[in-house]
Amino acid sequence: MNHLDALPPWAAVLVGVLVLLGAGFAFVGSLGLLRLRDFYKRVHAPTLGTTLGTFFMVVASIVCFSVAQGRPVLHEMLIGVFLTLTTPITLMLLVRAALYRNRVEGQQRVPPPR
């Protein structure tokens, strides 16, 4: 762990808190995936991990590498930008697929097709 020891104390505490927050949000999101009862409720849970969970982890990584290397290391930002653009697409497609399947079967209460 010698490269982490090179961080100044404030950066070490900041990175630690950010990493814990990011992992915490991702964990709560996945727990929601397990605890909520039906599919349309569960769809909302993973967004926690893709928004704030990813945000905190990316910021932690940026702070850690920028302070350790003494110059701005920003390419982690691409992960954040990419996830914010793609998550809506995947979730939207999944909900539409689920809605279509439920309509075809006609079991669950879903809005009727137009």
- With CB under 8 A as the contact rule, the residue among 66, 70, 79, 106 that binds another protein is 79
Dist. CA 26–CA 8, nearest whole Å: 27
61 binds another protein per the rule CB under 8 A? yes
Q: Residue type for 87, please?
A: T
Footprint (CB under 8 A) of another protein, residues 24-43: 24-37, 39-43
Taking the complex as a whole, how short is the minimal distance between the CB of residue 25 and another protein, in angstroms? 7
* Nearest approach, Cβ of residue 63 and another protein (Å): 9
Minimum separation from the CB atom of position 89 to another protein (A):
7
The span from the CA of 15 to the CA of 11, in Å, is 6
Kindly state the smallest distance separating residue 70's Cβ from another protein, in Å. Answer: 13
Q: How many residues bind another protein (CB under 8 A)?
A: 85
- The encoded tokens of residue 84 equal 């914010």
Task: Work out the burial of residue 18: count CB atoms within 10 Å of its CB; fewer than 13 is exposed, 13-18 middle, 19 or more buried.
Answer: buried
- Cα distances from 114 to residues 27, 86, 91, 103, in angstroms, run 38, 27, 21, 11
List the interface residues with another protein, window 83-102 (CB under 8 A). 83-101
65 binding another protein? (CB under 8 A): yes
